């Protein structure tokens, strides 16, 4: 995937993350909204790290919110981190404020939080720069990217964004060959599995809403989430329109 940049719209970020994941490319996705800047590091299609300049998304703030460290411990660690140019997490472990396993947990939760919050953005700018992750600040984590994408889309509450992503009632959806590989690793509910099973052949969105026990809003949001993860394929509008007549 070559370097590219653009404006963020209602469905841009989920689509960008899905494209980089499916194409197995490596690179850095930088996203900005005013003064807020986030970077998502992708290695062979897997989200492995993320960074943010939002002070509320810093590692120390996470531990403080979770009640794992005191304010005094945080301030002491910040002072050493700045003076000795060490990572805050490393200093917290050295000071015995947290355990080594707490550091792994904390960094993983921090990255997840940064990425998931991005799904709420429907405006701003983005830049994808392909290439290996050479930055010394990158700690590659083992996270299941499809699970992150699924959780991210399922957190979106904006109907206008969901509507723009799924299309009209006549839009056709069907499962992809990747279903068996991906779905088995995802923690799907019975209702979600049932919805997927109805898409074994091409089926219009309207019928999926009619036949599901879930609310139409939830059905449409799940359809978008399943498409982003790669479980469902949306077919061309012309074909869907013909089926709806």
pLDDT 10s digits, 54-65: 999 999 999 999
Which of 40-54, 123-137, 173-187 shows the lowest per-residue confidence on average (mean pLDDT)? 123-137
Cα–Cα distance between 103 and 109 in angstroms, integer?
A: 10
Q: What is the DSSP letter of 58?
A: S
Q: Of 89, 117, 143, which closes a domain? A: 143
Same-domain status, 61 and 170: no
Same-domain status, 35 and 123: yes
Domains identified in the chain, total number:
2
Predicted TM-score (pTM) of this structure: 0.86
Task: Decide: helix, strand or coil at residue 204.
Answer: strand
Q: Which domain holds residue 166?
A: 149-244
Same-domain status, 13 and 130: yes
Q: Is the pLDDT of residue 29 over 90?
A: yes
The residue written with tokens 């799924």 in the block is: 166
Mean pLDDT of 76-102: 95
Closest listed residue to residue 198, CA positions, set 186, 208, 213, 183: 208
Q: Is the pLDDT of residue 138 over 70?
A: no
pLDDT, residue 244, reads 44
Q: Of 143, 167, 201, which closes a domain? A: 143
Same-domain status, 125 and 23: yes
Cα–Cα distance between 87 and 78 in angstroms, integer?
A: 9
């Amino acid at each position: 995937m070559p370097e590219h940049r653009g404006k963020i719209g209602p469905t841009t970020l989920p689509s960008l993350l899905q494209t980089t994941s499916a194409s197995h490319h490596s690179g850095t996705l930088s996203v900005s909204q005013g003064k807020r800047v986030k970077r998502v590091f992708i290695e062979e299609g897997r989200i492995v790290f993320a960074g943010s300049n939002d002070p509320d998304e810093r590692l120390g703030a996470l531990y403080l919110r979770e009640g794992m460290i005191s304010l005094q411990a945080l301030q002491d660690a910040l002072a050493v981190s700045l003076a000795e140019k060490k990572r805050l997490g490393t200093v917290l472990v050295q000071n015995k404020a947290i355990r080594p396993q707490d550091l792994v947990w904390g960094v993983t939760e921090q990255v997840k939080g940064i990425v998931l919050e991005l799904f709420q953005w429907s405006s701003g700018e983005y830049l994808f720069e392909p290439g290996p992750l050479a930055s010394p600040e990158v700690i590659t984590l083992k996270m299941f990217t499809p699970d992150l994408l699924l959780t991210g889309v399922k957190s979106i509450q904006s109907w206008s964004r969901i509507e723009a992503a799924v299309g009209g009632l006549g839009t056709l959806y069907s499962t992809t060959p990747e279903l068996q590989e991906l779905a088995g690793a995802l923690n799907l509910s019975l209702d979600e599995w049932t919805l997927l099973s109805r898409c074994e052949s091409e089926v219009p969105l309207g019928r999926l809403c009619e036949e599901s026990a879930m609310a139409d809003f939830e059905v449409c949001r799940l359809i978008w989430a399943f498409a982003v993860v790669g479980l469902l394929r949306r077919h061309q509008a012309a074909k869907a329109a013909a089926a709806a007549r």
